[in-house]
Chain A
Amino acid sequence: MIDIAEVSLWYDRAHKALDRVSETIRRGQTVVICGPSGSGKSSLLRCINGLEAFQEGTIRVDGVSVRDPRTDIHRLRAEIGMVFQHFELYPHMTVMQNITLAPMRVRKKARAEAEQKAMALLERVGIPEKAARYPEELSGGQKQRVAIARALAMEPKIMLFDEPTSALDPEMIKEVLDVMTGLAQEGMTMVVVTHEMGFARTVADRIVFMSEGRVVETGTGRDFFERPQHERTRQFLDRILL
């Protein structure tokens, strides 16, 4: 479903953010990406939906090449939901408007239909009563659940999560992870950058460890935690599992 082949990305000539990264993510899989800060995890996610113009390699989503100039990138992005560490809800819009904007502007849905879908999604993430509120009136966990609902409103085939719980107070992490776990169980294809190793262990089909722009190691949950192959992975796990 997502085919990443030999992707390299430079932000400037001196600095290589991604170094020949290859990964294949199949339909319905949940892949967790972890690694130290600055290792290129966010950059890789942004390459998948074409927000970052990588210079080398190819990424195909459902067979469609992301960097091909003939690809309708807006249509491709509409199929890929993205959730951010700092939520990135639109502060000048209500929760409802946040969720319905893209379905109405990109999918050209009628308002009534978009709002009905939005309410159903708010039910699903457990906060239907917040529809008319503004983001600043919500807690962090609620904001992130709205952000997930906003991404799901486009009925995406793939969901990308970039450290969705890193900015949350500990007591709010679970409510967000629960929603994500539910999605994974329903068969959503997900790429999740996270350091929540409990989530990685129980939900991920595969774990990818990155360091300095490279994929150092990849394995199933069990292998990854019990038999890490590389010294760097071991050091990272020791630090994170303390």
Chain B
Amino acid sequence: MDTGVIIRNFGFMMGGLGLTLQLAAITIVGGLILGILLALARLSSRFWLYWPATAYIHFFRGLPLILVIFWLYFLFPVITGKPVNAYVAAIVSFVVFEAAYFAEIVRAGIQSIPRGQTMAARASGLSARDTAMYVILPQALRNMVPALVTQAVVIFQDTSLGYVIGLREFLRRVNLVDAREARSVELYLFAGLVYFAICSAGSLASQRLEKGRQRMHPA
């Protein structure tokens, strides 16, 4: 075991972690917003909202993420004739893909709110939009926090796939160091530890939140 290789390249590798976290953050925010819109469309009684949203969700949940990235990065330029920037391709693929998963979490969260709440809001004259904004979503999002944190952890791991189109995120940098120094065991153990530490922190936070929620709303 040569831990020196890790110490010597620590700054370089951790620099990639910045990109990894950035990818994850943009994906989480973008994916959640798109996911909320998809969930609302899916729960709509208007078929022209319901059907496209449902098809979208089933479509992307049925594909491996890596395929979506390949399509966007390699296939899209063939159709349009313009090359796609790897960073943009990664972000778009992640957001579009993860939104399908967020949509299902949000849908479950919305459906966990009793129908009477919608009824009371609509009875008072509130529009469908205001009912969602002020009555349903605030309660639903609060219930969903643990599931959302879990999904955020998954996304953090998924961003390592940016590697396949040459993004120099954390895992790619570890890989580059390994190519130079040929210390696979130490380097990939280290990479594993970093992912594990960050994901464990996320899971722990999720459990804390779940307990806190149960204290606030027993039953």
Interface residues of chain A, those whose CB is within 8 Å of chain B, are: 46, 49, 51, 74-75, 77-78, 80-82, 84, 86, 88-92, 101-102, 105-106, 150-151, 154
Contacts and interface: CB of A to CB of B under 8 A. Distances in A.
Given A88-B116, A90-B117, A92-B142, A102 B126 contact: yes
Given A84-B116, A86-B116, A105-B130, A92 B138 contact: yes
Interface in B95-131: 114, 116-117, 119-127, 130
B165 interface: no
Contacts, number: 60
B123 A77 contact: yes
- Which applies to chain B's interface (DSSP): helix, strand, loop or mixed? helix
Contact of B127 (A74, A82, A151): A74
Given A101-B134, A105-B130, A105-B134, A88 B117 contact: yes
A105 B119 CA distance: 16
Nearest to B115: A88
B139 A92 contact: yes
A101 B119 contact: no
B99 to A, nearest CB: 25
A101 B121 CA distance: 9
Interface string B189-213: 0000000000000000000000000
A112 to B, nearest CB: 19
A228 to B, nearest CB: 32
A84 B125 contact: no
A86 B120 CA distance: 10
Which size bracket describes the interface of B in this complex?
Answer: 10 to 19
Given A77-B122, A84-B116, A101-B124, 18 more contacts: A46-B119, A51-B122, A74-B125, A74-B127, A77-B123, A77-B125, A78-B125, A80-B123, A82-B124, A86-B114, A86-B116, A89-B120, A90-B121, A90-B135, A91-B139, A91-B217, A92-B139, A106-B126
A176 B57 CA distance: 47
A64 B125 CA distance: 16
Contacts of A82: 120, 123-124
A108 to B, nearest CB: 11
Contacts of A102: 124-126
A150 B135 CA distance: 14
A105 B127 CA distance: 9
Contacts of B114: 86, 88
A148 to B, nearest CB: 12
7 tightest Cβ-Cβ pairs between the two chains A and B: A78-B125, A88-B120, A102-B124, A82-B123, A106-B125, A77-B125, A88-B116
Nearest to A147: B120
B129 to A, nearest CB: 10
Interface in B22-62: none
B125 A154 contact: yes
Contacts of A77: 122-125
Of A51, A81, A102, most buried by chain B (CB within 10 Å of CB) is: A102
